[in-house]
Amino acid sequence: MYTLTKLLEGKHEVYAIFHGWRGILDKEVRRVRSKDLIDTAFTGGTFIRTSRTNPPFKDETRAETFAKNLRELGLDVIVAIGGDDTLSAAAQTQARGGLANVVGIPKTIDNDVYGTDYTIGFDTAVNEAIRVTESFKTTLVSHERVGVVEVMGREAGWIALFTGLATMADFVLIPEKPVNWDIVANRVKEVYKDRRWALIVVSEGIKEYGGPKDEFGHSRLGGVGNELAQYIEKVTGIETRAVIPGHIIRGGAPPTVFDRVLAVRFATEAFNAIESGDFGKMVAYRGGGDIVRVPITEVLGKNRLVSGYWMKLYETYWGGT
């Protein structure tokens, strides 16, 4: 947001919409200048705060308030920075003829936005997950235990997969590849015989426990790591502990160089899209590292899940057991 504001402010007035889409419904919109943003530019979280408010176009009253407020606010372009929920709402806003012009920037630790290979925040979150996992490993080795690390990511196993690859975990469980837990327990037994410790990484999204859903229809996830640890301990008879870093990986550490440069590159491309009037697009990272623009409607209602090359890599280490 800092970089984009810096690029835009010479020619345009920049306003921050606080609390995501809720800021339109509440008209919580304030002028910002890059000098106000510099102090939080290289930290996690978001200076303009966030919410899980969905401007559901299904709810006519809310849709009317949303449209009316947008007209009254007189915003020429909305730059939507967020994950699939934020960007899907942006795509619907663009599609609703003339409500607003939008440009999307993918940003979520989950790395599950359709149309881009990387999202801002993923790299930093995975680095934090690796740090926690390595730190846990100290106890696993010295106390000769089995450890289960549960990481976030919702329906997508990217954080678990990358954490597992980067620490060479003995097993990784991801939502895209359901596996019988006995297979995991057998792998643990096998590894433990030789080495007397073992490490498992599990994605929170392999199991839903129900409970209330947010406005985008997502249940709160988390907790499967404990259940898996208890199962492994019961089946193998080996002491097994779980660690659930949860939100810890979303904050704390300063962004990695990859995320910083990605944010600058996305901001630059979003600026170029705005200047050339190329609206209804999301900036994206593709293949060898090119930054491109894709129609934001591509993102609508879709998730990018572990598949193709990445699934093959997964299977090389944790498939076929």
**What residues are annotated to the active site?**
110
Between 250 and 265, whose beta carbon lies closer to ligand F6P?
Answer: 250
Residues that bind ligand F6P (CB under 6 A): 83, 108-110, 152-154, 220-221, 250
Q: Which residues contact 97 (CB under 8 A, 6 or more apart)?
A: none
Q: Which residues contact 109 (CB under 8 A, 6 or more apart)?
A: 119, 121, 122, 124, 125, 152, 153, 159, 249, 250
Between 84 and 233, whose beta carbon lies closer to ligand F6P?
Answer: 84
Name the minimum Å distance from CB 58 to ligand F6P.
21
Name the minimum Å distance from CB 280 to ligand F6P.
24
Query: Strand, coil or helix: what is 73?
Result: helix
Whole-angstrom distance, CA of residue 139 vs CA of residue 121: 28
Name the minimum Å distance from CB 173 to ligand F6P.
15
8 A C-beta contact, residue 182 and residue 235: yes
Between 170 and 204, whose beta carbon lies closer to ligand F6P?
Answer: 204
The residue number whose beta carbon is nearest to ligand F6P equals: 152
Between 127 and 240, whose beta carbon lies closer to ligand F6P?
Answer: 127
Name the minimum Å distance from CB 223 to ligand F6P.
11
Between 115 and 153, whose beta carbon lies closer to ligand F6P?
Answer: 153
Give the C-alpha distances (Å, rounded to integers) separating 14 from 18, 121, 273: 13, 23, 16
Name the minimum Å distance from CB 129 to ligand F6P.
11
Residue 165, CB-side half-sphere exposure with 13 Å CA sphere = 15
First-to-final CA distance of the chain: 45
Name the minimum Å distance from CB 16 to ligand F6P.
21
Q: Give me the count of residues in the chain.
A: 321
Between 222 and 295, whose beta carbon lies closer to ligand F6P?
Answer: 222
8 A C-beta contact, residue 279 and residue 294: no
Per 3-state DSSP, the chain is made up of helix, strand and coil in percentages (nearest 5) of 45, 15, 35
Cα-based angle 220, 223, 226 (whole degrees, multiple of 5): 175
> How many C-beta atoms lie closer than 10 Å to residue 238's C-beta?
17
